[in-house]
């Protein structure tokens, strides 16, 4: 049976991580891809679990040597998914979920048209701004950069296969489950 690749994007603070966590707890057979990033770990984040935290030099080496399936600069840091890592997961028979921003999602769709793109939307821009500030994990400059990205991402969401509004967490998780199950049945 063909293994599927799902890409989930959504603006910072939209709660996509929480929706995804809920989905993965109920569907542990899916694997969440681990990305490379040049940003510093947040408290509690572990190398090789949340991300592979690498230097800018190492990231540039991977770009120059075509090692990434996709990569993007986001709010001053670099993020990317290694081709080798994804191919290995698919060969191992795993259905994979990538949680990445929209530029990267479009690159994946170009290279792997069978990938399914899902965007998690906020109920409104204002809700998102409040959630982002409420996290208290970033300074004002970082928050502003992230809000600029939000506007761009909401525009990019128009090109996604599915859009799920995260107004109520439980509803968002069950909608994500039915979208993914529907796609799996097409295999």
Site residues for ligand 5GP per CB under 6 A: 12, 35, 39, 70, 72, 74, 79-81, 99-101, 103-104
Question: What minimum distance in Å lies between the beta carbon of 35 and ligand 5GP?
Answer: 3
Q: State which residue, 103 or 166, has the beta carbon closest to ligand 5GP.
A: 103
Q: What does the DSSP 8-state code read for residue 158?
A: G
Q: What is the dihedral of CA 164, 167, 172, 174, to 10 degrees?
A: -130
Contact between residue 117 and residue 164 where contact means Cβ atoms under 8 Å apart: no
Question: What minimum distance in Å lies between the beta carbon of 1 and ligand 5GP?
Answer: 26
Of 95, 116, 137, 92, nearest to 179 (Cα)? 116
Contact between residue 108 and residue 115 where contact means Cβ atoms under 8 Å apart: yes
Q: Which residue is nearest to ligand 5GP (CB)?
A: 104
d(C-alpha 110, C-alpha 134), whole Å: 36
Q: State which residue, 72 or 180, has the beta carbon closest to ligand 5GP.
A: 72
Q: State which residue, 95 or 99, has the beta carbon closest to ligand 5GP.
A: 99
Q: State which residue, 100 or 117, has the beta carbon closest to ligand 5GP.
A: 100
Q: What does the DSSP 8-state code read for residue 167?
A: S
The label of the residue with tokens 């075509």 reads 66
Question: What minimum distance in Å lies between the beta carbon of 46 and ligand 5GP?
Answer: 13
Question: What minimum distance in Å lies between the beta carbon of 103 and ligand 5GP?
Answer: 6
Q: State which residue, 155 or 187, has the beta carbon closest to ligand 5GP.
A: 155
d(C-alpha 29, C-alpha 16), whole Å: 19
Question: What minimum distance in Å lies between the beta carbon of 171 and ligand 5GP?
Answer: 21
């Amino acid at each position: 049976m063909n293994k599927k690749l799902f890409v989930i994007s959504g603006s910072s603070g939209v709660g996509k991580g929480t929706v995804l966590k809920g989905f993965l707890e109920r569907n542990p057979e899916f694997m969440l891809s681990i990305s490379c990033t040049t940003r510093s770990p947040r408290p509690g984040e572990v190398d090789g679990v949340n991300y592979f935290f690498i230097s800018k030099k190492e990231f540039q080496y991977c770009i120059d040597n075509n090692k990434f399936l996709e990569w993007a600069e986001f709010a001053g840091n670099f993020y990317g998914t290694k081709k080798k890592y994804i191919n290995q997961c698919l060969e191992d028979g795993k259905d994979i979920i990538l949680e990445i921003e929209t530029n990267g999602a479009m690159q994946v769709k170009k290279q792997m048209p069978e990938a399914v793109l899902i965007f998690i939307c906020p109920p409104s821009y204002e809700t998102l701004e409040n959630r982002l500030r409420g996290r208290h994990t970033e300074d004002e400059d970082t928050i502003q950069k992230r809000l600029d990205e939000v506007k761009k991402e909401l525009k990019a969401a128009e090109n996604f296969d599915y859009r799920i509004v995260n107004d109520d967490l439980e509803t968002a998780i069950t909608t994500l489950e039915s979208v993914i199950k529907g796609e799996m049945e097409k295999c």
